[in-house]
Amino acid sequence: MADEHPAQLTATEAARRIAQGRLTAEELVSACLERIRQLEPAVQAWQFLDEEHALSQARSADERRRSGEPVGGLCGIPVGVKDIIDTADMPTENGTVLDKGRMPRADAAVVARLRAAGGVIMGKTVSTECAYFTPGKTRNPHNPEHTPGGSSSGSAAAVAAHMVPLALGSQTAGSVIRPGAFCGAYAMKPTHGLIPRTGVLQLSRTLDHIGLFARSLDDIALLATELAGYDPGDPDTRPRARIPFTAVLNEAPPVEPMFAFIKTPHWARSDADTKEAYAELVQTLGDRVEEVELFASATDAWDWQRTIMEAEMAANLEPLWSRGRERLSERLRGLIERGTETRALDYQRILGRLPGVIESFDELFTERYDAILTPPALGTAPKGLAATGDPVFCVLWTLLGMPAVTLPLMQGANGLPLGVQLVGRRNFDARLLRTARWLERKLG
């Protein structure tokens, strides 16, 4: 391991070596830049990258550490940031030509927290158009003829290709978990409101989440520790004690976890690879998993999510629509047009139904289960670059604001990654990571 190329290191191991003086931030960032130069022509994960600026941040981190100043848990660690998350020193273009060259006045809250923790903002990763469905230029690092997923395409691909050990994304339907699964990265969508969205392109207050990409569960815990918490700019965050993600992750569960295998009404659409892999997974888990039917109260959730997303996106993207609707994709224009026609009564009725469904899932966890087991996508990354795949297996958990992770533990017949999604109880994110660690070790 001592001879391992720095770009291959997990963030946790790299941070340890930097703290011990066995690796410098400049060496790590230089190694990542070398990797980017090699693979970016094929993967195309980056919307903005300034090598000298990245190296300058790394040198500053090294100087702070050498001078004995207090440094954060991400000192010198390179992080990719999705191009809908504001950065005061780099453009944030939101995946649309209408915002080309846009320079934010301030960092988003999560970027400010990355900097405070010593992280190196490597650059801006490609987003689909306004974090919706129209793809950007990014390709799957395992096979460039296949989609990386979306909308956090560049972040998932950059981590999977070992260009950076960590990256940030966002999810409004399935934009973190799906590309994480397609690219073979670890990815997490936390509880709604756990990580602030201040300074991030707002699509839907009800549905938007910040998401995390990494190459290990330890790295997810490391990054979540620095980002979770209250921010006055995000009304869905709240003051709370610091969550000890890493400590909980490394605890042994008091008893072996129980899993509820929920296929959802969309199971029949899943690929043969998914059905076969999950049958084997359920067999391996034996008496630690039980198939559970989805509550009748949740069967309309996919329609609810669509209504909320269309209505709130239409309102939030109205300035772009007014500036240049003809420059938006046909698919995004259609969404905005439908959203403007949503009846207020229908929208309010749906919002009123969500707490009851959340309560039903809370009871499920309280009575018996530690996590829900369900696919992150219909199968492996589809061939072709005109679409980013279907988020259908992520929609329900996003709507309800429940934490979810995808683990790169399986493989399809075509050799592409096939993820395992675990969903936890709201506000029990650290315990979900602990359960994921148990499953990872169980499967070897």
Q: Tell me the catalytic residues.
A: 82, 151, 175
Residue type present at position 139 = R
How far apart are alpha carbons 183 and 178 in whole angstroms? 9
Which pair of tokens denotes residue 379? 């199968």
Which pair of tokens denotes residue 127? 């987003």
Residues 6+ apart with CB under 8 A from 398: 171, 172, 173, 174, 189, 207, 209, 305, 404
Residue type present at position 56 = S
How far apart are alpha carbons 178 and 392 in whole angstroms? 9
How far apart are alpha carbons 428 and 282 in whole angstroms? 24
